Structure 1
Amino acid sequence: MIAYIIRRLIGAVLVMLAVATLVFFMIRLVPGDPIAAMLADSGSPEAREALIRRLGLDQPLLVQFWRWFTGVLQGDFGASLYGSNQPVADILMTALPKTLSLALLSFIIAIAIAVPAGIVSATRKNSAADVGVSLFAFLGLSMPDFWLAILLIIIFAANLQWLPAIGYAPMSEGFWEWLQHLILPAIAIGTGFSAIIARMIRSSMLEVLQADYMRTAASKGLTHRVMLLRHALPNAMIPVITVVGIAFALLISGAVVVENVFSIKGLGRVLIQGIQNRDYPVVQGAVLLVSAFFVLSNLIVDLLYVVIDPRIRYS
């Protein structure tokens, strides 16, 4: 197991190196000029040349890449091309807690809905409960998260005035204040993911419940609850864990639309603004950070396989 983890970590480092190289060169293939965007129509040719030299954009691409890459190896992601040349690390560390908080709460809501819904749907196949879960999954997959977000704002913020409509409150201001600002966007994001996971659990549970060892467990006189929780659910969770791991990584990077609806400047919003502004260092740093979450998520999923099913061993 330790040797496997070491190999995976080495592979993760190689993946991150490849991502760093690709994002550096591919962002520069996007049409647009950061200097033109910064100066608009007000800059003279002299001012343009001076700004290019100050930002180091007059150097060959390979020289620029080497300077940025060696900085990343030392924990320096460079500085934003805009504003007061704020370090990219500071921008990302300001946005990351907001995105992580939103992703974690959305993930908890999705799991809290999906697991019992998927189990009930599988154990009561073709019943009213199964039809209800299938209908919920259909609606959850069909509704755009931004539409659900707007609907929640209209109901709970504008009409009932129970919760704030926009903004983010850090945990330092209190748990309730933090939860009030995040519960609506978390529901908007988590509902769609809960539908995906619930359908996955239902499909996997139905397959497991028809297995021979489940009939053997029933012939031994085990109760339905023991059969379900100790035999069916752990075996059914193997493919579900894969989907859950990918879903959590997607929550980190895919909440940009809902973040904009609720005016939360998280990681996704920072990335989109960086692309719009051609802010190369910000885009490079954000993509690297998101890639790191995907790599880490895949490693955790592989390790959870062993925890859930002791028969799985990595050699």
Structure 2
Amino acid sequence: MASYMLRRFLGSLVVMWAVATLVFFMLRLVPGDPIAAMLADAGGAEEIEAMRRSLGLDRSLLVQYGIWFGNMLQGDLGNSIYGSRVPVTEALAEALPRTLSLSLLAFVIAIVIAVPAGILSATRRNSATDTTVSLLAFLGLSMPDFWLAILLIIVFAANLQWLPAIGYVPLSEGFWPWFSHLILPAIAVGTAFSAIIARMIRSSLLEVLKSDYMRTARSKGLTPRMLMFGHALPNAMIPVITVIGIAFALLISGAVVVENVFAIKGLGRVLIEGILNRDYPIVQGAVLVVSAIFVFSNLLVDLLYGVIDPRIRLN
């Protein structure tokens, strides 16, 4: 187990390095000069060249890469080259808690809805409950998250005035201010996620419930509760956990549209602004963080395999 996780960890570091390296070179191969775009009409050729030298962009790509990689190993991701030129770590430290808060709340909402819905749908196959759950899951998958976000704002913020429409409040300022600002975007982000998980649980449970060992367990007189939570659900959760792990990583990196609707400057919005402004350090730092989230999610999924099903041995 330990050797397997060590190999996965080292392999994950290689993946993160490869992704960051590709982004480093691909950004600099895109036509255009970010310095000239920044100064526009405010500076001539001498001013542009002076700023390029001050930022180290006049050096060869390999030299720039070597400097960036060496600084990264020391925890220094550089400074933004656009606007106020804040340190990249500072910009990411401000944005990441917002995205993590939104994603975790959306994740909890989705799981709380999806697990009971998937179990009910599977255990009452072809019933009115199954049809209702399938219809709601189809609607959840069909609704664009930005459209649902706008609808939630109109109903709960504009008309009923129960919740704020935009903004973010840190958890340190109180649970309710934090929760009230995030519940609407979390519902908008988590709706499609809950629909996917509910359908996955239903499909996986139906496969398990008609297996031979489940018929044997029923013949031994086990109660429906023991059959479901002691035998069926643990075996059905293996493919579900895989989907949850991947979807959670996508949830964190893909909430940029909803973040814009609710004016939450999270990680996705910082990354998009960095790409549009050709802000190399910001994009590289954000990509490293997103890569780390994907890697951690996959490692956590591998660990959960052994916890859920002891027959799985990680060698």
TM-score band w.r.t. shorter chain:
over 0.9
Cα deviation for residue 41 of structure 1 reads 2.6
Q: Which amino acid aligns with 1:58?
A: D
Report what 1:311 is aligned to: 311
Report what 1:14 is aligned to: 14
- Bigger mean CA deviation after superposition, 82-91 or 196-205: 82-91
Cα deviation for residue 19 of structure 1 reads 1.3
Report what 1:49 is aligned to: 49
Over 4 Å off, 4+ runs: none
Report what 1:183 is aligned to: 183
Cα deviation for residue 83 of structure 1 reads 2.5
Q: Which amino acid aligns with 1:103?
A: S
Report what 1:33 is aligned to: 33
> What TM-score, normalized to structure 2?
0.99
**Is 1:2 equivalent to 2:2 in the alignment?**
yes
- Structure 2 distance, partners of 1:143, 1:256, is 16
Report what 2:96 is aligned to: 96
Cα deviation for residue 13 of structure 1 reads 1.2
**Is 1:131 equivalent to 2:165 in the alignment?**
no
> For residues 248-300 of structure 1, what are the alpha-carbon distances to aligned partners after superposition, in whole Å with 9 as ceiling and x for unaligned?
10111000000000000000000000000000000000001000000010000
What percent identity do the matched residue pairs reach? 75
Report what 1:58 is aligned to: 58
Report what 2:216 is aligned to: 216
Cα deviation for residue 84 of structure 1 reads 2.9
- Correspondences of 1:93-242 after superposition (within 5 Å): 93-242=93-242
- Structure 2 distance, partners of 1:84, 1:264, is 19
- Bigger mean CA deviation after superposition, 36-45 or 175-184: 36-45
Q: How many residues align?
A: 315
- Structure 2 distance, partners of 1:164, 1:31, is 42
> For residues 50-73 of structure 1, what are the alpha-carbon distances to aligned partners after superposition, in whole Å with 9 as ceiling and x for unaligned?
111111110000000000011111
> For residues 88-111 of structure 1, what are the alpha-carbon distances to aligned partners after superposition, in whole Å with 9 as ceiling and x for unaligned?
000000101000000000000110
Q: Which amino acid aligns with 2:90?
A: D
- Structure 2 distance, partners of 1:120, 1:31, is 54
- Structure 2 distance, partners of 1:172, 1:82, is 30
- Bigger mean CA deviation after superposition, 131-140 or 32-41: 32-41
- Structure 2 distance, partners of 1:80, 1:194, is 37
Q: Which amino acid aligns with 2:267?
A: L
RMSD of aligned Cα (Å): 0.8
Q: Which amino acid aligns with 1:159?
A: N
